[in-house]
């Protein structure tokens, strides 16, 4: 059987139509901030691309699975005393779930953050019910650091947020 390939690359205008098809899924939006809307429209994607161009603290890659656009993964660079940290966020289109794609993409984006951007720490907050994302973070060597109790208000209900982080091995004491 042929080995599947996962790469991350610059997001392009040509990705917009497929991004809308895949992002317009409540099983995805329920795990993300409300700024990722449902339904997810062409206009939302165009505005997102525009925002990326005007915000140099936001670095978003397309995830390619066997040469096709499959989702996004991005780093939000923090400021002030947190300038060596970034928050990481991601989504993958449902047809590609449970094939190890995000585990590969997260490893690639984490390496980019540590090796190219020289970040010391990358963190991620996951809603308590999102077991798949928690598992992906664990598989990529992120450590569960704690729980922000009842931090999340999503779709009219209150949830805990599970906080994960990975430290750049170059900065391990
Ligand atoms: C979460 C998400 C990124 C996972 O991507 P993926 O490519 O399917 O992940 P992988 O295949 O690399 O790994 C998934 C792991 O979770 C496990 N898993 C899947 N569903 C699970 C569940 N309901 N409970 C527990 N584990 C689950 C899989 O078995 C696998 O672990 P394993 O390799 O030990 O068997 C993807 O489902 C997604 O984009 N979801 C919507 C958006 C989202 O949640 N973004 C993250 C916000 S923090």
Structural domain boundaries of the chain?
6-123
Task: Reply yes or no on whether the pLDDT at 34 is more than 70.
Answer: yes
49 Cα: distance to centroid of ligand 1 (angstroms): 26
Identify the bridge partners of residue 163 per DSSP, sorted by sequence position.
125, 146
**Which residues, 6+ apart, have CB-to-CB distance to 148 below 8 Å?**
125, 160, 161, 163
Residue whose CA is at the smallest distance from ligand 1 atom 32? 135
Best residue among 28, 134, 135, 142 to mutate for probing ligand 1's pocket (most ligand atoms within 8 Å of CB) is 135
Q: Is the CB of 97 under 6 A from ligand 1?
A: yes
Residue whose CA is at the smallest distance from ligand 1 atom 12? 100
Per-residue confidence (pLDDT) for residue 75, from 0 to 100 = 98
Per-residue confidence (pLDDT) for residue 4, from 0 to 100 = 84
**Which residues, 6+ apart, have CB-to-CB distance to 131 below 8 Å?**
none
Question: How large a percentage of the chain has pLDDT more than 70?
Answer: 99
80 Cα: distance to centroid of ligand 1 (angstroms): 32
| Strands (DSSP E) found in 6-127 | 6-10, 58-65, 68-77, 85-92, 121-127
C-alpha 91/C-alpha 133 separation (Å) is 10
Question: How large a percentage of the chain has pLDDT more than 90?
Answer: 97
Whole-number CA gyration radius for the chain: 16
Per-residue confidence (pLDDT) for residue 1, from 0 to 100 = 58
CATH of domain 6-123: 3.40.630.30
């Amino acid at each position: 059987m042929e080995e599947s390939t996962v790469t991350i690359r610059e997001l392009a205008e040509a990705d917009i139509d497929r991004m809308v098809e895949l992002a317009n899924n409540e099983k995805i939006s329920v795990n993300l901030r409300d700024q990722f809307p449902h339904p997810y429209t062409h206009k939302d994607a165009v505005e997102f691309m525009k925002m990326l161009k005007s915000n140099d603290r936001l670095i978003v890659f397309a995830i390619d699975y066997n040469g096709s656009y499959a989702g996004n993964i991005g780093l939000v660079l923090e400021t002030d005393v947190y300038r060596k940290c970034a928050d990481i966020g991601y989504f993958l289109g449902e047809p590609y779930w449970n094939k190890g794609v995000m585990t590969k993409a997260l490893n690639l984006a984490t390496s980019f953050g540590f090796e190219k951007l020289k970040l010391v720490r990358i963190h991620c907050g996951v809603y308590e019910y999102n077991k798949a994302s928690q598992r992906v973070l664990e598989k990529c060597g992120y450590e569960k650091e704690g729980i922000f109790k009842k931090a999340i208000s999503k779709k009219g209900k209150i949830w805990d947020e599970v906080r994960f982080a990975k430290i750049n091995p170059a900065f391990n004491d």
